[in-house]
Amino acid sequence: MSGNVPKLAGVCVVWRKNKGNIEVLMIKRGKDMSFLPGHHAFPGGSVDEEDRNCEIYGPYDEKVKSSFAGAIREILEETGYFPIKVEKNISKEELVKIWEKLHRKETHFGEIQKKFNLKINLDDYFFSGPWITPPGLSQRFETYFFFIEWKEHFLNIDNQITREVDLIEWDTPENILQRWHKKEISLSTPIAYILEQIETFSLPGAFQYLKKIPWDKDKYTYFHPRAGIHIFPLPAPPQTFFLNINSIVIGKKEMLIIDPGGGEEESLNEMIYWLEHFTKMGSKFMGICITHEHPDHANGAEALSQHFGIRKYPLSELFKKCEYPIGKIIRGKQFVLNDKYIPWIVDSIYTPGHTKEHFCYYETTTQTLIAGDMISSEGPVVIDPDDNGSMSEYMDSLNKLNQLNIDLLIPGHGMPWFYMPGNVIIEKLIQHRKHREERILNNIKKGITTFEELLSTSYDDVPPERYVLARQQLKAHLLDLKQRGLIDKDIPI
């Protein structure tokens, strides 16, 4: 587990004004790097032990100060830029020598600070953080982002390509975000979020919005994994088995809200904060949709609809537009969310199983599937025959969804799979259910005939608190097996 403790890191958002536009300094991370390979990012990296010996002033703790030292050292190392005023006269040759020594690990920030006579007061800089990488990734960082305006008189070595960095470039936030939407580049949530604030509010206007950090120690309230895909993991209502419910907002200029959550005070306030923020960014809400009528997904719709005057799309309206194209995927209403460049196109797809009236949503430009209660990353979803659930329909819906090319799969509950293709996850799910079905069939073949015995032998891997759910799953499997003529009609359910 120790590998999963977040490492302290510092990153620099180096920006400049060029012909009236703001440009930021970006790098493309090496494709062989273990953390976010090939991603576009701001330069920076993890803090070395020696960065902690820096002499930095300002009313901040050691973590912030050493992150700043680490960020400056890393930006010089990675890009050859030195974004701090140097009091002494330093020639380019001297800077190159320092740069080479840094690469050979023969010097450190403290030494550079003395040699260059750097006087640093953190009060002169804005920073955002810490952003803490969510659990589940191979490496995690506790990162501070420092904002520095690049000045003509700062020192830099002409584009040095290092082992870690594939590309160094200046570009406007608008261009970078547009390239992200065209899938030419990859960005992580903090980078995309920061760029969007700068694009909308410029600098220093964006700073006020960069103080709220949605990635805190154990609390992650916002993910922005693809262009136009915003995920809000809201707390789930207490009576449910899940920890969170994912509310999704798609688009930029025009936005669609899917599954606004249970409407409890805490989650409602969180959604109102973000939707108000999107309004300030110039977004317009085109509608609220739900995947199905269960209260933890749907109850927030009314309050949000009233608060913002947004139109609600009832499931009946999606059904009305249902059509049957090739592949037998049943598509309902399509939403086109216009933008300055490329629109987002969201298909509603009829997926009964968890309930009779269940829709998933597929955004075609990013190949994102919003799965609702078809899929959860916190354990299998419930197929409850007493609540209109059907195992045959569920398996059929899973197989249909698997015909789509899914890059990003967002489950109704639990952490989305940011770096695993959706089809791999669906395939695993199908196998999981088939495996369960096989166990039940084998137990029946062995001569087990009572429901209770079938439950204890076929679900012995399920923790006791989920037994009540397993009971309904077994019932759903048995109904399905009977329907398909695979077991005798007299097996009790």
Q: Which stretch binds Zn ion (CB under 5 A): 98-106, 261-269, 290-298, 398-406?
A: 290-298
For Zn ion, give the closer residue by CB, 163 or 356: 356
* Assigned token pair, 108: 């450190």
* Max CA distance (Å), the chain: 92
- Could you tell me the smallest distance in angstroms from the CB atom of residue 373 to Zn ion? 4
Distance CA 425, CA 50 (A): 43
For Zn ion, give the closer residue by CB, 227 or 429: 429
294 binds Zn ion (CB under 5 A): yes
Site for Zn ion in 341-380 (CB under 5 A): 373
- Could you tell me the smallest distance in angstroms from the CB atom of residue 128 to Zn ion? 36
For Zn ion, give the closer residue by CB, 176 or 476: 476
- Could you tell me the smallest distance in angstroms from the CB atom of residue 380 to Zn ion? 12
Phi, psi of 11, rounded to the nearest 5 degrees? -135, 145
- Could you tell me the smallest distance in angstroms from the CB atom of residue 236 to Zn ion? 11
CB contact at 8 A, 200 and 206: yes
- Could you tell me the smallest distance in angstroms from the CB atom of residue 294 to Zn ion? 3
Distance CA 132, CA 130 (A): 6
Q: With CA atoms as reference, report the closest residue to 43 among 60, 58, 26, 56.
A: 26
H-run or E-run covering 360: strand 359-363
477 binds Zn ion (CB under 5 A): no
DSSP state of 137: S
- Could you tell me the smallest distance in angstroms from the CB atom of residue 77 to Zn ion? 50
For Zn ion, give the closer residue by CB, 142 or 373: 373
CB contact at 8 A, 243 and 378: yes
CB contact at 8 A, 398 and 430: yes
Residue 46 neighbours by CB under 8 Å, 6+ apart: 7, 8, 9, 70, 141
- Total residues contacting Zn ion (rule CB under 5 A)? 2
Taking CA atoms, 233 is separated from 190, 285, 341, in Å, by 16, 20, 28
For Zn ion, give the closer residue by CB, 169 or 384: 384
- Could you tell me the smallest distance in angstroms from the CB atom of residue 475 to Zn ion? 17
For Zn ion, give the closer residue by CB, 94 or 293: 293
- Could you tell me the smallest distance in angstroms from the CB atom of residue 258 to Zn ion? 14
Taking CA atoms, 387 is separated from 199, 352, 476, in Å, by 47, 12, 11
- Could you tell me the smallest distance in angstroms from the CB atom of residue 292 to Zn ion? 6
CB contact at 8 A, 56 and 70: no
For 149, the 3-state DSSP assignment is strand
259 binds Zn ion (CB under 5 A): no
- Could you tell me the smallest distance in angstroms from the CB atom of residue 375 to Zn ion? 11
For Zn ion, give the closer residue by CB, 29 or 294: 294
Q: With CA atoms as reference, report the closest residue to 358 among 325, 326, 384, 327.
A: 384
Q: With CA atoms as reference, report the closest residue to 468 among 390, 394, 384, 352.
A: 384
- Could you tell me where the DSSP H helices lie in 352-466? 391-401, 422-445, 451-458
Q: Which stretch binds Zn ion (CB under 5 A): 222-230, 231-239, 287-295, 456-464?
A: 287-295
For Zn ion, give the closer residue by CB, 162 or 388: 388
Distance CA 140, CA 119 (A): 31
For Zn ion, give the closer residue by CB, 363 or 373: 373
Closest residue to Zn ion using C-beta atoms: 294
For Zn ion, give the closer residue by CB, 196 or 373: 373
Q: List interacting residues with Zn ion (CB under 5 A).
A: 294, 373
